[in-house]
């Protein structure tokens, strides 16, 4: 019994032993300098040797010391990420995607939330103090928060925008194709023979609001219609604002047979307002949302919506940031990722 306990103890001790670069070198039959060149992607290494080293790293589950890598490369392999909030589903999924890609490439993301631009400066100072290699900013133009990034960009700090495209800043960006999404949503309702389509928008100052509205207007124009300003109501992305917007439209006796809501939460509020006023969805009025949140498919009726590839947005943003960290001359990219129309039960043809 005592021998068995001792054996288990030795096994656990071996498991706890940290694998070093010397262990990798011995396993691959190369020098520690060769392993270092492979890890840091610097200097020539024959391809068969490089593959042997990578195989040894995987077999031994070697994880380079972040401190050691920082001393060699001058980088901490830590990235900063600032979002308006961490509780919103959309932002949370984007951050999750970014973290997954960062971890895959050996980076850690330090995340903070800044409800308004006044909270950004202190967060940036903290991240710079902790020597992050780059910054990922979500919705940098939701207000003037992007201005706090400008001095860092001028100093050469790698920065990527998610959710907005830059103006003159030399940074990469990733966002979904909001204009095309707005066009798809409206075109689908038009194909169902709807003639009067109301739209519930997000805050007017946000780029995605403007782009989705342009898509809505463009789809109407392609069928010879002009958008009716009286059928465009601004919200703040919340279900309550969607509810209040539709209550206002009904109180003012506006005529419409369909609603394009620029996000799913406002669509949920809109459906409740319609139901409370005796309108059935989609028999009386059709409703289409945007985002495809998990709750959308469980509504009654299930919500037709535009699916945003949130995890993919985060992964692409992290990849661009890491590419820029590794190479200061990496070409700046403005990625626009398509949305997908998800047909469910909340849309139908209007009654004749």
According to the model, what pLDDT value does residue 11 have? 41
CA distance 87 to 78: 22
Residue 184 pLDDT: 98
Per-residue pLDDT in tens (0 to 9) along the chain, 352 residues: 455 444 434 444 443 466 888 888 999 999 888 888 887 777 788 888 989 988 988 888 886 654 445 444 457 899 999 999 999 899 999 999 999 999 999 999 999 999 988 999 999 999 988 889 999 999 998 888 999 999 999 889 999 999 999 988 999 999 999 999 999 999 999 999 999 999 999 999 899 999 999 999 999 999 998 899 999 999 999 999 999 999 999 999 999 999 999 999 999 999 999 999 999 999 999 999 999 999 999 999 999 999 999 999 999 999 999 999 999 889 999 999 999 999 999 999 998 6
pLDDT at 14: 41
Surface-to-core class of residue 91, CB atoms within 10 Å of its CB (0-12 exposed, 13-18 middle, 19+ buried): buried
Report which of 145, 126, 137 is spatially closest to residue 98, judged by C-alpha positions. 137
Residues 6+ apart with CB under 8 A from 153: 159, 169, 170, 171
pLDDT at 6: 47
Asked, colleague to colleague, whether 74-176+310-337 and 178-308 share their fold, the answer is yes
Distance (Å, whole) CA 349 – CA 203: 29
Residue 65 has a pLDDT of 55
CATH code matching the domain that covers 178-308, chosen among 3.90.226.10, 3.40.50.2300, 3.10.20.30, 3.40.190.10: 3.40.50.2300
pLDDT at 59: 87
Domain assignments of the chain as residue spans, ordered by start: 2-64, 74-176+310-337, 178-308
Q: Hey, what CATH class is 74-176+310-337 in?
A: alpha beta
Backbone phi and psi for residue 118, each to the nearest 5 degrees, phi listed first: -70, -20
2-64 domain in CATH 3.50.50.60?
no
Q: What is the pLDDT of residue 268?
A: 98
Residues facing residue 198 across a β-bridge = 259
Q: What share of the chain is helix, strand, coil (3-state, %, to 5)?
A: 50, 15, 35
- Cα–Cα distance measured from residue 209 to residue 262, given in angstroms and rounded to the nearest whole number: 7
Pairing relationship of beta strands 197-201 and 305-307 according to DSSP bridges? unpaired
pTM score, whole prediction: 0.78
């Amino acid at each position: 019994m005592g021998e068995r306990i001792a054996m288990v103890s030795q096994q656990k001790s071996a498991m706890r032993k940290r694998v070093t670069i010397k262990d990798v070198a011995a396993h691959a039959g190369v020098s520690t300098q060769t392993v270092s060149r492979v890890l840091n992607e610097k200097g020539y290494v024959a391809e068969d040797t490089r593959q042997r080293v990578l195989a040894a790293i995987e077999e031994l589950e070697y994880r380079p010391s972040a401190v050691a890598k920082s001393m060699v490369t001058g980088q901490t392999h830590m990235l900063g990420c600032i979002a308006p909030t961490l509780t919103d589903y959309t932002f949370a999924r984007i951050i999750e995607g970014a973290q997954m890609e960062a971890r895959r490439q050996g980076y850690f993301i330090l995340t903070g939330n800044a409800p308004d631009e006044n909270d950004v400066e202190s967060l940036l100072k903290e991240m710079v103090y902790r020597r992050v290699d780059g910054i990922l900013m979500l919705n940098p133009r939701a207000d003037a928060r992007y201005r706090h990034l400008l001095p860092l960009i001028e100093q050469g700090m790698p920065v990527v925008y998610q959710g907005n495209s830059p103006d003159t800043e030399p940074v990469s960006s990733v966002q979904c194709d909001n204009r095309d999404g707005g066009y798809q949503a409206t075109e689908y309702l038009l194909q169902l023979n709807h003639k009067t389509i109301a739209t519930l928008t997000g805050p007017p100052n946000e780029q995605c609001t403007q782009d989705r509205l342009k898509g809505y207007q463009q789809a109407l124009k392609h069928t010879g219609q002009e958008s009716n300003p009286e059928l465009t109501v601004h919200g703040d992305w919340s279900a309550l604002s969607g509810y209040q917007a539709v209550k206002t439209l009904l109180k003012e006796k506006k005529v419409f047979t369909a609603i394009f809501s620029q996000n799913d939460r406002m669509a949920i509020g809109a459906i409740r307002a319609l139901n409370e006023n005796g309108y059935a969805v989609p028999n009386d009025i059709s409703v289409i949302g945007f985002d495809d949140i998990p709750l959308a498919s469980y509504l009654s009726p299930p919500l037709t919506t535009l699916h945003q590839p949130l995890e993919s947005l985060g992964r692409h943003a992290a990849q661009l940031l890491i590419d820029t960290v590794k190479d200061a001359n990496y070409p700046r990219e403005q990625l626009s990722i398509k949305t997908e129309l998800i047909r469910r039960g909340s849309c139908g043809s209007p009654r004749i």
